Structure 1
Amino acid sequence: DSYIDAIITQGRQMALAPAHWASFTVGGGTPLLLNIAQLEKLFFSVFDVLNVDWNIYKTIETSPTDTTAEKVALLNAFSVNRVSIGVQSFHDSELHTLHRRHNAASAHQALEWLKAGHFPSLNIDIIYGIPGQTHASLTESLHQALVYQPEELFLYPLYNMPRQENMHSYYVLARDLLRNAGYTQTSMRRFVLNPAPSAAAESCGFENSLALGAGGRSYLGNLHYCSPWSSNLQTSRKIIQAFIDSPDKTVINHGYLLPPDEMKRRFIIKNLFFWQGLSLSDYQQYFASDALRDFPDLERFIRQGYCYQNGSRLRLTETGMALSDCLAPVFVSPEVMLRENRQR
C-alpha cells in the first residue's frame, strides 16, 4: 500500500500541466501481484491525478501465478485492452531452471481465465535458449501457446543465465513455426496475428512516455531518464523503499538530454528494426539531413544483405531481422556506451 501511495504522490507531483494520454500500461511483469483493492486504488487514483481518459488503450502484464478469475473480472471492468502473460515455457523442468513460481498446469489455468475474459488482445511470452530446452520442447511450448490463439506472441532469448550454444537455430525454428501459423513478424521478438496495415507505414521515434514508480523509464522530448532497477530481490527492495521515502519524486538522478545526433540515432533504431523500416523521407523532414550520409553503416548493411531500399524506405531482410540484436548496437554512440559502462 505504501508503494502505491508513493506512485500516486509521484503522479500528483508530475501533473503540473495538462497532457493528452494515448495509452496506459501497468508493467513490471507482475503487477497482478497486487490484490483486488490495491489494483482498484492504483487504477482509480492514477487516472484521477493525471486526468486520464478511461477510454484510452490500456495494457497490463501478469504471470500465471498472479492471475485469478477475480482479477480477470476486474480487468474487464476496467476495460483493459491488452493483457500480456509471461508463460515462458509449458515444461515444468524448464520453468524450474528459470526459477519461475508457476508450472505448466497453472499457466494453462491462467490462460483459460484470460481467454474467457475476451480481451481484445492477448500476448504470450515464450523464452528460447533455456538450458535443457530442445527443439522438440520449444516446438511443443509454441503449439500449446497457439491453442489459445493469442493476438500477439513475443519470443525472448534467454538473458542473465547460461544458455544454449546454438541460439540462432531455436530462433529460426520458432520464427518459421509462427509464420506458418499465420503470424506476421513485426520485429525480431514480436509476432502478430492480423496486424493493422496502417501500422506498417507509420514512423515512430518521437513519442513521449512518462513512467511512474521504481525502475521506470521516461522519454519527454529529448529528455531521457530512468530510476534505478535491479533483478536482485534484496536490491529491488532497497530501491523500492528509497522511492517510497523520497519526498520529491520529480528529482531526476539518472537522465540525459539527447543532442540532435542522439535523436537521429534513436529514430533509426526505433524504425529500422521494426517491420515498417526506416523512412528516409521522414528522416529528411525531421532532421533536414540525409540518413545515408549521416550514417554510412546503412549503406554497408545494404551491401552485406542486412537491409534493402524500397523507394524511400530501408527495410531489414530476413537475415537482418534475425541479427537485430547484433546490428542495432552499431547505432549506439560512443558517448552513450561510455555512460552505460559507468552505470555497471
Structure 2
Amino acid sequence: MTTTALPRPYQSYVYAYPHKTAYRPLADRPALREEWAGERKDALSLYLHIPFCEVRCGFCNLFTRIGAPEQLTTRYLDAVDRQADSVREALGDGGPVRFASAAFGGGTPTFLTADELVRLCDIAEKRMGADLSAVPLSVETSPATATADRLSVLAERGATRISIGVQSFVDAEARAAVRPQRRADVESALARIRESGVPVLNIDLIYGIDGQTPRSWRHSLDAALAWRPEELYLYPLYIRPLTGMGRTRAGTGTGAETESDASWDARRLALYRQGRDHLLSRGYEQLSMRMFRRLDAPVRGADDYACQTDGMIGLGCGARSYTSRLHYSFDYAVNMGEIRGIIDAYTATEDFGRAETGIRVDEDEARRRHLLQSLLQARGMETGGYRERFGTAPEEDFGVELARFTELGWLDGDREPGLLRLSELGLAYSDALGPELFSPSVRSAMAEYEPR
C-alpha cells in the first residue's frame, strides 16, 4: 500500500485528448481534403451530433440547447447534410473509405422525430457511405424521448446499442440533480427499449448527488439491474462552471451544498467502490472506471477500430473529427445564449470544406493520447503495440509519470510482462491519473480557456 499522499480523486473526466477547451481558431483554416490526404480511411468512426434536449440537467456542460424553435431541427439537418457532402468529398476516392462504427450523440438524438431520425440515418448511409446495418451503431436517448416510433426507426436501421441517461431511480435525487423525471416514466422508457429488440441496453447512473446515501445508491443499482442491462456506466457527479448546479452553488465555496471538497471526494469514492463491488458480485466485469459489462452480454464493439490510432469523422456543430495530425471541431460553449449563436451560425454555413477550430497533434501528443486512452481501460496497454507504433518504450517517453504512478500504487504490480495495467486503486483514481499525462502546452491552453 502506498504511503505517498494521494491527490484528489475527481479532477477531470478524460474522454478525449486533447480536451476541447484546448482547441483554438485555426488561423490557416486548413482544407479538409489536404488534412485527410494520406490518412488511413478504411476503419473510421462516424459520429453525428444532435445538440437539442427537452430539458438541461443541472450538472450538464455538454454542447446542447433546450428545445428547438420551429424549423430549427430541419435547418440543422440541412446543414448536417451539406457538411456530409463536403466531408465525403474531402475524404476523396484515392483509397478505400469505410466506417467501422457509428454513433448518434448529443444532446439527445431522439429529440428528433421519427421522420427526422430516418433522415439522420440516410445522411450517414447515403451521404457518408456508412453501412449502419453492418457496423455497431450506438444511440443516446432520454426517458422522455425514448418513444416507440423513434426506437422502431433506430432498430430497423441497425442500432445495436441504446444508452439511456437515468442517473437515479430515486425521484428526490433526480430533482436534486436538476433532472425532472419520475421513476414510472423511466421504467416505461426502459420497457420500450427492451421491446424494440435493440440488443444492448446501457444505463447511466450518477453517484455523489446531494442526499444520496449508500442505501439509496444500492436502490438505484438494483433498480437498474432488474432490467439486466448489457452495460452500465457509473459516473461521479461533477459540478462545472456555467451549469445549472454550478451557478446555484457558486457562492457556497464547497464541492457540494453542505460538504467540503474533501468530504465530497470521500463520499463519491465510497459510493464508487460500493457500486463497483455490487456490480462485480452480480455478474458484471469492469472495463474502465466507469464502464461495466454483463459477463454473458454480446460484444458489440467494432472489431477493427482503435480510438488511439484510427480516425474519426464528426458531423454536427458539437462533433469532433480526428486525423493523425489534427483534431478539429466547431466553437464550444456551455452558456445557453452562446450555444444558440453557434448553432445558428452552423445552420447558416454553406462551405464545410475547411477546419475552423482545433489543435495540431504532434508526435509527443500522439504518444500521450495513446498511453492515456489505453491505460484508462481496465485491460491495460500492451507495450509491444506502443513500441511498434512509436519506436520507443513507454518507460522511455514517460518514465517520470510512470514512476509516480508506481509510487502512488496506481499500477498493477502483478501484471504480466509486456503489459501496463492499472491497479484497483489506479482505476478508482482514473480522473486524477488522466490529467497527469496532459502535456504542458495542453494544460496551458486549458487553463487559458474562458468558460462561456
Structure-1-length-normalised TM-score: 0.94
| Cα contact 2:84–2:123 (8 A) shared by 1 | no
User: Is residue 284 from structure 1 mapped to residue 357 from structure 2 by the alignment?
Assistant: no
Mapped partners of 2:142, 2:111: distance in 1? 9
User: Is residue 179 from structure 1 mapped to residue 288 from structure 2 by the alignment?
Assistant: no
Mapped partners of 2:333, 2:81: distance in 1? 22
Other-structure match for 1:299: 403
Mapped partners of 1:46, 1:182: distance in 2? 36
Other-structure match for 1:91: 170
Cα deviation 1:220-275 (Å, max 9, x = unaligned): 12211222233333322221111111222233232122110110000000111102
Mapped partners of 2:403, 2:234: distance in 1? 29
Q: Which amino acid aligns with 1:146?
A: L
1:155 deviates by 0.7
Cα deviation 1:156-183 (Å, max 9, x = unaligned): 1112245461211111111111111111
Mapped partners of 2:408, 2:300: distance in 1? 29
| Cα contact 1:29–1:63 (8 A) shared by 2 | no
| Cα contact 1:126–1:154 (8 A) shared by 2 | yes
1:198 deviates by 12
Equivalent residue of 1:211, what SS? strand
The match for 2:291 among 172, 175, 190 is: 190
Other-structure match for 2:113: 35
1:76 deviates by 1.5
Other-structure match for 1:341: 447
Gaps of 5+ in 1: none
Other-structure match for 2:331: 228
Mapped partners of 2:126, 2:283: distance in 1? 40
Mapped partners of 1:204, 1:60: distance in 2? 18
Q: Which amino acid aligns with 1:150?
A: P
Q: Which amino acid aligns with 1:327?
A: L
Mapped partners of 1:45, 1:304: distance in 2? 48
Mapped partners of 1:315, 1:196: distance in 2? 24
Mapped partners of 1:279, 1:299: distance in 2? 18
| Cα contact 1:183–1:192 (8 A) shared by 2 | yes
Mapped partners of 2:275, 2:353: distance in 1? 43
Mapped partners of 1:41, 1:20: distance in 2? 20
Where does 1:58-137 land on structure 2 (aligned, <5 Å)?
Answer: 58-137=137-216
Equivalent residue of 1:316, what SS? coil
1:327 deviates by 0.8
User: Is residue 3 from structure 1 mapped to residue 76 from structure 2 by the alignment?
Assistant: yes
RMSD: 2.0
Other-structure match for 2:433: 327
The match for 2:308 among 189, 197, 205 is: 205
Other-structure match for 2:56: none
1:204 deviates by 5.0
Equivalent residue of 1:52, what SS? coil
Greater relative contact order: 1 or 2 (C-alpha under 8 angstroms, separation 6 or more)?
2
| Cα contact 2:82–2:350 (8 A) shared by 1 | no
Other-structure match for 1:252: 355
Mapped partners of 1:342, 1:262: distance in 2? 19
User: Is residue 12 from structure 1 mapped to residue 85 from structure 2 by the alignment?
Assistant: yes
Gaps of 5+ in 2: 1-73, 240-244, 246-254
| Cα contact 1:7–1:213 (8 A) shared by 2 | yes
User: Is residue 170 from structure 1 mapped to residue 271 from structure 2 by the alignment?
Assistant: yes
Structure-2-length-normalised TM-score: 0.72
Where does 1:152-167 land on structure 2 (aligned, <5 Å)?
Answer: 152-160=231-239, 161=245, 162-163=255-256, 165=264, 166-167=267-268
| Cα contact 2:327–2:359 (8 A) shared by 1 | yes
| Cα contact 2:85–2:128 (8 A) shared by 1 | yes
How many residue pairs get aligned? The number is 343
Q: Which amino acid aligns with 1:13?
A: S
Query: 4+ residue runs of structure 1 moved beyond 4 angstroms?
Result: 195-199, 201-204
Identity of aligned residues (%): 34
1:85 deviates by 0.4
Go from structure 1 to structure 2 and tell me whether the alpha carbon gap of 1:251 and 1:99 turns closer, same or farther (over 3 Å shift). farther
| Structure 1 range deviating more: 227-236 or 239-248 | 227-236
Mapped partners of 2:332, 2:358: distance in 1? 14
Go from structure 1 to structure 2 and tell me whether the alpha carbon gap of 1:109 and 1:82 turns closer, same or farther (over 3 Å shift). same
Cα deviation 1:103-141 (Å, max 9, x = unaligned): 211110000001112211110000111111111111101
| Structure 1 range deviating more: 124-133 or 250-259 | 250-259
